[in-house]
Structures are given as structure tokens and as C-alpha cells.
Structure 1
Amino acid sequence: MHWQTLAASLTLTASGADALLRFSCSQLVVERLDPLVNPGMAPSPHLHQIVGGNAFNISMDPKAPPPTVATCTTCTFADDFSNYWTAVLYFKARNGSYHRVSQKPNVGFEQATGGMTIYYTPYIGNTKSTVTAFQPGFRMLIGQQNYRTKAEAQKFRQLTYTCLKDPMTRSGETMDMPTAPCKAGIMANVRFPTCWDGKNLDSPDHMSHVAYPTSGTFESNGPCPTTHPVKIPQLFYEVIWDTTPFNDKALWPADGSQPFVWSQGDQTGYGSHGDYVFGWKDNALQKAMDTNCNINCPQLKTQSIAVGNKCTRQEQVKESIDGWVDSLPGGEMSGMEHA
């Protein structure tokens, strides 16, 4: 299919990867829930956009793995009932009101209501290595919602932005939120650590059980630290925010500063973060990693994007999040999470 060829070309150009899964996950729900950081809290402090299996709920009990609860998934690999989520981007007008920024499909992916592109990469280039797929009950978080300086954000060196000149742009990543209008929107790139301690499926901060390579990056085949010796796939989200309706600089702050704000109240962009709850059925992900699937994976069960678009879940938090609003959903509470 044309979109698969195009997707492969984009991905290989961007990362040099010779083996990876790259697939679409349509929007499941947008609401104030965070079962990883705020389990049992409804509403949670700030708004998230969630894709994946419809088992997503307030608590996500580790004793009830998503594949045993979910009845559908928004992802094109039909055995992936994982949940992937990030904060939501808003535009802040000169009068102080906010408008939610919608998402747009990535190249070659037709999504009904936005979503993400998800990657799982076992190795880069010609240096093949064995990776251990995430295990049932595994979950993790990357980023800190309360960070507001670049010095803080350096800890998460692979949380970046791409100012899209056109839908094909895959260069020019920065840690800073773009400060000029982007012709085709802003892509938020969320790359998770690729080393695991081999013992804990989670940790109190949802990060300590994983780590970045001791030097370099996953892409440069950096070695894992001795404390986290197990190589895991690089999990990577691409989220394209359609900022184009707000590209008129006359709408931007009078001082020319960039007007986009994450839903936790972060206008710096340094509070970008992503959450993950593993939910692949049986050994499907390990099978894909062992066979070095490249975009397509005949070993896995797939479904069309149209079928994925039909997977939905009823909102559990009822509130107005669209149109012009006077404050971010959650108001002052939005800045409390992950503190």
C-alpha cells in the first residue's frame, strides 16, 4: 500500500532504523484522568489525550491486564490493548481565554479524531541486538509536568518538538517549543528510556525502573547502565498538533512570545510528558521484536484504521474542554500533578 511505503521512507530517513513497528492509534478519549499518577482520582488535575485499548479507566488495576478487560483498541495492531497518553495542547489568546488545539493525522494515517503514531524499535542501523519486550503489568512515565526551564528538561533529552514546514518534515527537532508559526503544525516527539532494571514493572515515580543509555542515545547504540542492564524497545510517540488555525501573529501575545500552553499550565514547553501502560496480548510484542518486523509485521494481527476509529470509550469525567474557555480544565489544580 502507498501509505506503508511512504511511512517506511519517512521513518528510515528520520532514525536510520532497519527494524521497527510504526502504526496508527486513533483517539480513544480526551479527559481528566491519569490512572498512572493519580489512580482513583476523577477528575485528575489536568487534561490528557488517550489512545489504545478501551480498558482505560480511573485506576488501571495492575491485577487486571488490559488484554483481559478491553474489547477493542484504536491501534492498527489488533493485539495491542496498551494505553498511551500525553497532556493536551491549548492556544492562549491575548484576552486570556483558551482554545484546545486539535490533532491531525500523520502522513499516510487517516484518523477520525486525531491520535498518535506509535513506534517500537528493537535496534538502530546494522547493530542488531536482543531486546526484551515489556512484561504484563509494566508501566512508565517520561517527563515532569512541573518543569519550566531548559536546564530541568535536559534530564529528558529526547522530549522534543518539530516545527513542521510541511507534513513530511522530520528534521530540526528542538527541546524548545517553536517560537514562530509552523506552516503544517507542531509535532511533539516523546521517546522513552530504553534500559530496564529487569526486576520492577513500575516504581514510585514511574521512572526509576528505566533509564537512558549511559552515553549517547538509543539511536547511537549507547550502552545500558549496570543498574538497568536489560535492553527494551524504544517506545516513541509522534503527536501532531494542528496549530495552523492560530498562525496569524495578530492573535499571538503582543510581546511576540509563543502562545501554546500544555494542559497542566505550562507555556514553556519544558513540561512535556508521556505515560504508558503495557497491554499487548500474549507474546505478540516479543514476537515482533524477535522477527525484526519493519513497518509491516505479518506475524501480528492487524485491523484497518477505519475499524480502530470505531473503538470508543464513554467519558468518565464530564466537562467542557472545547471552544473558548476562560481557564484550563482543572484551573489551578492543573499545576499540581507530578509535583
Structure 2
Amino acid sequence: MKWLSPVLALAAPAHAYLRFGCATLSVQRLDPVVEPGKIPSAHVHQIIGGNAFNATMDPSIDVANKATCTSCSFSEDFSNYWTAVLYFKARNGSYKRVPQYPNALLGSLTGGMTVYYLQQDFNSNGKAKITSFKPGFRMTVGSPSASSGGNPGLRYTCLQDVMTRFPETANFPDKPCPAGIMAIHHFPACWDGKNLDSPNHQDHMYNTGKGGFVAAGACPSSHPVRMPQLALETMWDTRPFNDKSLWPADGSQPFVWSFDGADKKGFGTHADYLFAWKGDALQRTMDSTPLLSNGLKTQSVADSNKCTIQPSVKEDIDSWLPALPGYS
């Protein structure tokens, strides 16, 4: 397959959304939203975006003015996005971090994620005013303590090839996937119009999403401001672990998130977002009729890959481990 450049991918297949890739910035135990200032945080995260990411990110400071590079294709996006990390749990009880690979349309990025900002859906910008996130804004979606798959925006796809997108399931696939597992995170898009954060990092937002890249429901009066529909896709390369002789003896699926070696369903999947687009770049784009780049600056895949940070937490996260990092 011939890889398309990230810039070309922005224009296909429709004109109603931003879609771009971000390489891996870091993989380590830090979480400045849920556990600010704590080194290390409870579990391992995979992080993309601007290099101002650290354990303590003061919401009164515009992070876009502190970062000097970003791992994202749009060089004006210094936001940070992160999720838990996928691990394989072998039959003997040891753990191995699952590698990532880039979406088929996004070139040779190093791991990372695909990021979407939609006004309405893939085919229409809709007629609602879309208000950009503000400096200091942050939110999460999902919860590591979830015991069911109730959020339709948190899903998995068993990849038959790199272009597979359906079907989506609320829980981990229960059989080996030929091209890996894609994890999908859709964030809520209705804001209360006042708070840049809330104690649980979710109450200032309201979710009217219906799952997938379809138009969300109307925002309620308590959260009347429509913001961009943000979504993340991560391609986890589970192919090295498709030998079922390594799977549990009962044949159950062997993948777990980095926060819970017993969560065989994957219902605890979650993601964090910390806004840091430069100036009015995102608002300018949301105001654009075609919702392409509208003058947004882009950078090469090589420059995206070069933007990384050194880990604040010095620990082994990549060898075969007797326990998940932080849970020994």
C-alpha cells in the first residue's frame, strides 16, 4: 500500500472534519489532569501533542505558549491527548506492552494516535456555532472503574486489515485480530459555558453522542455550548501475541489496560484532553465552511516524530514484567 501524506488525508474522504495524526510524545506514568504533581502517577499512559507536557500543568498558564514543538501534524496544535496503555497478559501471568502503529492514511508516524475534530459528522458541518475550547480547558472521558460498556463513544474494533472500521464492540475482541485492535474514544461536546474543568474532569461537559462519527444530540440547557466533537483512534499492534498457546488456558482474551490486570472486558478504557492550540487557530477552523485547514500550518512526519520528551519516571515498562508498572 502507498501511504498518503497527513496533509492529503485531511481532505479525504469528505470536507466536514479535521483528521490528523500525532506521533508518540512519551509513554510513562504521568497524568497532570487526574493526578497533578504526582510522580509517578498510578498507571502508564501513552501521550501525544506538545512538549510542554509534565506532571504539573497550571491551568492559569496557556500551555501553547510554553511548548516548543508538537508531535501532531498541525504545528499549531500543542494540546496533549493521552490514554492508558495496552498490555498483553501471558498465560504465565507476565505482562508485555503492546506496540502501536499509525493509521493507514497518516504516513510513517511513530505510534501515536489519529485525532478528529468534527463540527457535526463526516458529511456535514451542520448549522450550529461551534465554540473552540479555551486555554486552561481539560476533560476526560471514561473511567478506569467502569464495570460496563455504557458509553457508546468508547469502543473497540478487531482489525482485519489496516482499513477496517467496523464492527465496533464495547469490550475487547475475544479472538485474535489479524491486524490488531483499534481503541476509539469519543469525548463529550456540550459545555456548561463557564468551567474549564470540574472536580471529576467531566461534569463541566455533557455527552449527547450516539457513538461513531454521527451527529450528536442537542445540547441541554445546563450545558448549552456546542464544542468540537473530539475523538481519538489508537491502533494497537496485537499481532505478535496472536499465538493462542500464550493466551489463558481457558481461551479468554489476554489484553488488559495498564491500570488493571483483571479487567478482561476493557470497560475501563478512558482518555484525557488538555487544550493548547495556538491563538485562535482552532476557532478559525471551526468557523470555516469546508472545515479543512483554513490556513493551519502543517509540519512533516519527520518533524512530528522528532518531538518527544524524556521520561520523568525511570522504570522498565517494556520488558516482560511480573506485574503492571505501579502494581508490583
TM-score normalised by structure 2 residue count: 0.93
Work out the CA distance in 1 between the residues paired with 2:306 and 2:119.
30
Matched, 1:133 2:132: yes
In structure 2, the partner of 1:89 is: 86
Residue number among 311, 314, 326 corresponding to 1:315 in the alignment: 311
Residue number among 173, 180, 186 corresponding to 2:181 in the alignment: 186
Residue number among 279, 285, 288 corresponding to 2:276 in the alignment: 279
Matched, 1:299 2:295: yes
Give the aligned CA root-mean-square deviation in angstroms: 1.9
Give the structure with the higher percent helix.
Answer: 1
Q: In 1, are the aligned partners of 2:10 and 2:18 still within 8 Å (CA)?
A: no
- Report 1:164-175 matches (<5 A): 164-175=159-170
How far 1:221 moved relative to its partner?
4.1
Aligned length: 321
Q: Deviations over 1:33-61 (max 9, x none)?
A: 00000001000010000000000001111
Work out the CA distance in 2 between the residues paired with 1:131 and 1:184.
36
Work out the CA distance in 1 between the residues paired with 2:195 and 2:132.
14
Structure 2 residue identity aligned to 1:82: S
In structure 2, the partner of 1:231 is: 226
In structure 2, the partner of 1:144 is: 143
Q: In 2, are the aligned partners of 1:104 and 1:242 still within 8 Å (CA)?
A: yes
In structure 1, the partner of 2:97 is: 100
How far 1:113 moved relative to its partner?
3.0
How far 1:307 moved relative to its partner?
0.6
For the structure 1 residues 215 and 179, does the alpha-carbon distance in structure 2 shift closer, same or farther, using more than 3 Å as the test? closer
Q: In 1, are the aligned partners of 2:9 and 2:20 still within 8 Å (CA)?
A: no
Residue number among 258, 263, 274 corresponding to 2:258 in the alignment: 263
**Percent identity between the two aligned chains:** 55
Matched, 1:220 2:215: yes
For the structure 1 residues 235 and 111, does the alpha-carbon distance in structure 2 shift closer, same or farther, using more than 3 Å as the test? same
In structure 1, the partner of 2:58 is: 61
Work out the CA distance in 2 between the residues paired with 1:298 and 1:271.
37
Q: Deviations over 1:246-293 (max 9, x none)?
A: 011111111010000100013320000000000001000001111144
How far 1:68 moved relative to its partner?
1.3
Moved more, 173-182 or 126-135: 126-135
How far 1:6 moved relative to its partner?
5.9
Structure 1 residue identity aligned to 2:81: Y
For the structure 1 residues 214 and 39, does the alpha-carbon distance in structure 2 shift closer, same or farther, using more than 3 Å as the test? closer
Work out the CA distance in 1 between the residues paired with 2:236 and 2:212.
26
Other structure's SS at 1:28 match: strand
TM-score normalised by structure 1 residue count: 0.90
How far 1:64 moved relative to its partner?
2.1
